[in-house]
A and B are shown apart, each in its own frame.
Chain A
Amino acid sequence: MNKGDVCLTATVIEILLIAILAGIVGSILGLGGGIVVTPALTLLFGVEINHAIGASLISVIATSSGSAVAYIRDRITNVRVGMFLEIATTVGAITGAFLAALIAPNFLYYIFALLLLYSAYAMVKKGKEEIPVNVPQHPVAEKLGLGGEYYDKALGKNIAYNVDRVYEGFGVMYGAGVVSGLLGIGSGSFKVMAMDVFMKMPLKVSTATSNFMMGVTAAASAGIYFLRGDIIPVISAPVALGVLIGATIGARIMQRLKSKTIRKLFIPIMIYVACQMIYQGWGA
C-alpha cells in the first residue's frame, strides 16, 4: 500500500465517522442527516456543492430506511399518516422542480424562513409539554384511521393520540415538498413541523414519521442526480454505510429521550435553517 492509498483510506474513514454522526442526529430529529453531511463535505473536504447534495440525498435515504426498520418494529412511526402525507410531498417536489426553473426563488425562501421561525416559536411555547393533550380527532383522520398509539420508553407507558388539522398539515407538507424540489434536500424540519405543530401529533411520532417519509421524495431526486453523475461513488459509499450504522444507533437513543429534550435539540436547528434560507434568499 503506498502513501496515496493510506490517505485515501483515511479520508474514507473520516467521511464514515461524520456519516455515523449524521445518521444519529438525523434519525433522532427526523431530519435525514443531510443537515450534517452537506456542510461537512463542502467545508471540510472541499467537495463541490452538486456532489455534496448528491451524497446528502444518499444520506437522507439511508437514514430513512435505516431508522424506519426499528421505528416501525417498535410502532413509533405512523405509517398511515406517512403514506397519506407523501401525496402532498411528492406533488410538492414536482412543483418545486418546476418553480426552480421558472422563478427566482428568493421570495419563497423568505416565506419558508418565516414559517420555520413561527414554528420554532410554537415549539418554544410547547417546551414544557411532554405529550399533546386534549387533541380532537379531525374527521378526515377518523375516516382514514390516522390516529395511533405507541409505547414511550422514556415515560414507560403507552401513549394514544389523535390527529388534528389534517388540511393544514397537508398544506405544510406540500410546502415541504416544494422546498425539497427547489433545494434538493429532505426538508425534514418542515415535515416535523407539519405533524408536531399543526396536526398535534406527539413529537417522537412526528420525527419518526418524518424520517419514514423522507426516503421516498429523496429517492426520486437521487435518481436524477445519479443519471447526471452527481452521486460520486467513492464519496457516497462511506456516507451510506456510516449513516446506516448511525441511524440504527440513533433509533435506539431517540426512544429513551424525553420529547422535551428532543425539542431542545430541534429548536436551534430550525432557527439555523431559517437563517440559512434568509441568507440564500438575500444572495439569490
Chain B
Amino acid sequence: MAEQQQASRQDRAAEVEIAISKMLRIGIVLAGLVIVVGLVLFLVTGDSGYPGDTFPTSLPEIWRGIVELKSVAIIEAGLILLILTPVFRVFVSMFAFIHEKDYSFVLISILVLVILALSFALGKVGA
C-alpha cells in the first residue's frame, strides 16, 4: 500500500515535470526564433529603425516598431518572451499542481507568483 502510494506520487510528479519542461521548450524556441529574425534583419539592413543608439523601452512603442518591421523592436519582442518564460513556468506549474491535487505546492506556486508581482511593482516604483 505504502509502495503504491509512493509510485503514484512519482507518476504525478512526472506529469507536472513534463508540463513544465514542454512549456519551457515552447518559450525558448519561440523567443530564440524571434530574436534570430530581428538580429538577421538588423545585420542585413544595417538599420535598427531608430536614430543612433536609441531603442524603445515601453510595450506600446515596441508594438508599433514590430508592426513597422523595425529590426530592434523585433529583437526586443524576443527578449521579452525570454524574460517571461520563467514567470509562465511558475504559472504552468501552479495549474499542473492543481490538476495533480498537490495543494501544498499549489500554495507554494501562488506564493512565488505573488512575491514576483510584488517585486516587479516595487521595482517599477524605484526605477
Interface residues of A (CB under 8 A from B): 1-2, 4-5, 8-9, 12, 58, 61-62, 64-66, 68-69, 72-73, 75, 77, 79-80, 83-84, 86-87, 90-91, 93-94, 97, 101, 143-145, 215-216, 218-224, 226-229, 231-234, 236-238, 240-241, 244
Contacts and interface: CB of A to CB of B under 8 A. Distances in A.
B118 interface: yes
A188 to B, nearest CB: 14
B105 interface: yes
Which 6 interchain pairs have the tightest Cβ spacing?
A: A215-B86, A224-B123, A90-B115, A72-B21, A233-B75, A219-B86
A146 B74 CA distance: 41
Interface string B65-105: 00000001001101110111111011001000000000011
Interface of B: 9, 13-14, 16-17, 20-21, 24-25, 27-28, 31-32, 35-36, 38-39, 42-43, 46, 48, 55, 57-58, 72, 75-76, 78-80, 82-87, 89-90, 93, 104-105, 108-109, 111-112, 115-116, 118-120, 122-124, 126-127
Contact of A237 (B35, B120, B123, B126): B35
B79 A219 contact: no
A220 B116 contact: yes
A252 to B, nearest CB: 15
19 contacts: A61-B86, A65-B86, A65-B89, A69-B21, A72-B24, A79-B20, A80-B105, A97-B126, A143-B104, A144-B105, A216-B90, A219-B84, A219-B85, A220-B116, A220-B123, A221-B123, A227-B58, A227-B127, A240-B32
Contact of A229 (B36, B57, B82, B112): B57
Contacts of B46: 1-2, 4-5, 8
Contacts of A240: 31-32, 35, 78-79, 82
- Please report whether the interface of chain B is mostly helix, strand, loop or mixed according to DSSP: helix
Contacts of B35: 237, 240-241
Given A73-B21, A233-B72, A144 B55 contact: no
Contacts of B32: 240-241, 244
B119 A238 contact: no
B108 A84 contact: yes
Given A8-B46, A72-B20, A234-B72, A223 B39 contact: no
A215 B89 contact: yes
Contacts of B13: 79-80, 145
Given A220-B119, A231-B79, A237-B38, 10 more contacts: A58-B83, A64-B86, A83-B105, A87-B115, A93-B119, A144-B105, A233-B72, A236-B79, A240-B32, A240-B79
Contacts of A236: 75, 79
Nearest to A221: B123
Contact of B79 (A64, A68, A227, A233): A233
Given A72-B24, A94-B122, A221-B123, A216 B17 contact: no
Given A227-B124, A234-B75, A9 B43 contact: yes
B57 A226 contact: yes
Contacts of A234: 42, 48, 72, 75
A94 B118 contact: yes
B56 to A, nearest CB: 9
Contact of B87 (A91, A145, A219): A219
A237 to B, nearest CB: 5
Nearest to A5: B46
With most chain B CB atoms within 10 A of its CB, the pick from A4, A65, A68, A232 is: A65
